[in-house]
Amino acid sequence: MGIVMGSDSDLPVMREAAQILGELGVPCEMVISSAHRAPDKTAEYARTAAGRGLQAIIAGAGGAAHLPGVIAAYTTLPVIGVPVKSGALNGLDALYAIVQMPAGVPVAAVAINGARNAGILAAQIIALKDGEVRRKLEEYRAGLAAGVEKKDRLLRALGVEKYLENRQETRDTRQETGEN
């Protein structure tokens, strides 16, 4: 899997794609390129991606976010675009730039800063032909369902007020210990 970003300032967001892909057992490479500042490098990366065995590309950029679209123009691999929140328009500029591709050259856009979902969607593409990744995705989904079940049980046990107090305390502890 290729994860490309327009600048190192996108890295804190884009590493979430790499993290979930790692958990799902999909190897990936991370690359900084730019549709505007390094157009030749971007074109070369996209042109050679399929030949190097990549099966999809995740591309994240902020502002005038042309990186995913330009990559999509140079390859028929599926491209997943991540609008990165940056600058005065808070990511809306990047979202519109990524989602409004002309007919014929699609980019699958995820939410602003939605790099984790980009990783999961990329893994789902890989899972079409890779049973082990599919199994890990199923496990991941089961974990999500178990998380909802746990919260539901706790809400029933504590009631609304105590649940919210407990939730706030958990958040405060997470912030203190630097956990997400």
From candidates 1, 4, 7, 81, binder to ligand RP5 by CB under 6 A? 7
Residue entry with tokens 């974990």: 143
* Residue 81 binds to ligand RP5 (criterion: CB under 6 A): no
From candidates 31, 34, 136, 163, binder to ligand RP5 by CB under 6 A? 34
Is residue 146 within 8 Å of 139, Cβ to Cβ?
no
Q: Is 11 exposed, middle or buried (0-12, 13-18, 19+ CB in 10 A)?
A: middle
Piece of the chain touching ligand RP5 by CB under 6 A; list 38-46, 58-66, 145-153, 166-174: 58-66
* Residue 6 binds to ligand RP5 (criterion: CB under 6 A): yes
The sheet that has 29-32: what strands, in order across it? 29-32, 2-5, 57-62, 79-84, 108-109
What binding mask, one character per residue, do residues 82-101 give for ligand RP5 by CB under 6 A, x or -?
--x-x---------------
Q: Please, what is the angle between helix 39-49 and helix 67-74, to 10°?
A: 50
* Residue 16 binds to ligand RP5 (criterion: CB under 6 A): no
Binding-site ranges for ligand RP5 (CB under 6 A) = 6-7, 9-10, 34, 61-63, 84, 86
